[in-house]
A and B are shown apart, each in its own frame.
Chain A
Amino acid sequence: MDPATAKLIGAGLACTGLIGAGIGVGTIFGNYLNGALRNPSAADSQRIWMFVGAAMTELLGLLAFVVAMIILQ
């Protein structure tokens, strides 16, 4: 296989890591909304932790993206 082709395929495969990040971030925000609708009075105090969780989850996806970028360059 041509190395340039392999590089592009590799970058595409690296981007599949974003699938997990998407599912994870969706789960976090969805569950936060779920909990906030059940108990709105506790929602405000937990919003910060939702953002922290989303940031942590998102980071893993972004790592995959950065890896793809490094492969591409």
Chain B
Amino acid sequence: MHQFELTKKVPLELFGYDVSFTNSSLWMLIAVVAASAFLIMSMRGRSLVPTRFQSMAEVIYEFMAKTVRDVCGPEGMKYFPFVFTIFIFVFFANVLGIIPGSFTTTSHISVTFALALTVFVFVTLVGFKTQGVGYLKMFVPEGVPLLLLPLIVVIEVISYFMRPVSLSVRLFANMLAGHILLKVFAGFVIGLGLVGGWAPLAFMVGFTGFELGIAMLQAFIFALLTCIYLNDALHSHH
């Protein structure tokens, strides 16, 4: 599990907690810098006919804007920067993690759970802000027999509080599984040596491409589920 190992680069302590600057922190900052550089530098020209990088940035922007508009409706665009930040952060963290020798911050449950908890708290706040106490009606579906209602409400509340868990475990497990599989096959390459090592190596090359797709898809799904939760918060079901 060497690739998931955290190493302290700069020891640091704050309010009695150990908040050392680790390799994970480094790669988070790299993701931030890379995302900002890509999105800000590419738009430097602000040309009407986009350059290659500008059109990439615009495609990502339009894609996320369309997703938010489709799922949450036009009033969801108020929260577009939040959804977009979530997406671009997860996207860059996942994709940078594929680079051999780098560190995948999203393969740590603490990171993904903190992100998912941010989404959860944000969505809950938006829900109470737009619907007031009526947001609680989400736990009471209409047309349920009175006898079943207590059970349904309990299930709904549990499923609501499971949201950050499912959101974080999905991302974490996807990244972890992909990297462990690559590691296992890398072990095969070494173990089989110069003679038989080519077959797992070829598989690794193909699987790295597949991992790139998974990295993008998981970033999209994270943002998409955020949109869906936001939609629940913005629109009452009654």
Residues of A within 8 A of B (CB): 48, 51-52, 55-56, 58-59, 62-63, 65-66, 69
Closest approach, in angstroms, between the C-beta of A57 and any C-beta of chain B?
11
Does B170 lie within 8 Å of A58, measured CB to CB?
yes
Closest approach, in angstroms, between the C-beta of B86 and any C-beta of chain A?
15
Complex formed: what's the CA distance from A59 to B225 in Å?
13
Does A51 lie within 8 Å of B220, measured CB to CB?
yes
Does A59 lie within 8 Å of B71, measured CB to CB?
no
Counted as pairs of residues, one from A and one from B, with CB atoms less than 8 Å apart, the total is: 37
Contacts of A65 in B (CB 8 A): 173, 176-177
Closest approach, in angstroms, between the C-beta of B153 and any C-beta of chain A?
21
Given A48-B70, A55-B225, A62-B169, A69–B220 Cβ distance below 8 Å?
no
Q: Does B126 contact A (CB under 8 A)?
A: no
> Given A58-B170, A65-B176, A65-B177, 5 more contacts at CB 8 Å?
A48-B70, A51-B221, A55-B170, A62-B169, A63-B173
Does B221 lie within 8 Å of A62, measured CB to CB?
no
Query: What does DSSP make chain B's interface, helix, strand, loop or mixed?
Result: helix
Does A62 lie within 8 Å of B174, measured CB to CB?
yes
Q: Does B149 contact A (CB under 8 A)?
A: no
Does B177 lie within 8 Å of A62, measured CB to CB?
yes
Contacts A/B (CB < 8 Å), 14 sampled: A48-B71, A52-B221, A52-B224, A52-B228, A55-B170, A56-B166, A58-B170, A58-B174, A62-B170, A62-B173, A62-B177, A65-B176, A65-B177, A66-B176
Closest approach, in angstroms, between the C-beta of A62 and any C-beta of chain B?
4
Q: Does B67 contact A (CB under 8 A)?
A: yes
Query: What does DSSP make chain A's interface, helix, strand, loop or mixed?
Result: helix
Interface size on B, residues (CB 8 A): 17
Contacts of A59 in B (CB 8 A): 166, 169-170
Complex formed: what's the CA distance from A1 to B91 in Å?
45
Residue of A nearest to B67 (CB): A48
Choice from A52, A62, A69 contacting B225 with Cβ under 8 Å: A52
Contacts of B177 in A (CB 8 A): 62, 65
Contacts of B221 in A (CB 8 A): 51-52, 55
Query: What are the interface flags for B87-131 relative to A under an 8 Å C-beta threshold, 1 for contact and 0 otherwise?
Result: 000000000000000000000000000000000000000000000
Closest approach, in angstroms, between the C-beta of B119 and any C-beta of chain A?
14
Given A48-B224, A51-B221, A69-B176, A63–B169 Cβ distance below 8 Å?
yes
Contacts of A55 in B (CB 8 A): 170, 221, 224-225
Residue of A nearest to B174 (CB): A62
Contacts of B174 in A (CB 8 A): 58, 62
Complex formed: what's the CA distance from A56 to B159 in Å?
12
Contacts of B70 in A (CB 8 A): 48
Contacts of A56 in B (CB 8 A): 166
Residue of A nearest to B176 (CB): A69
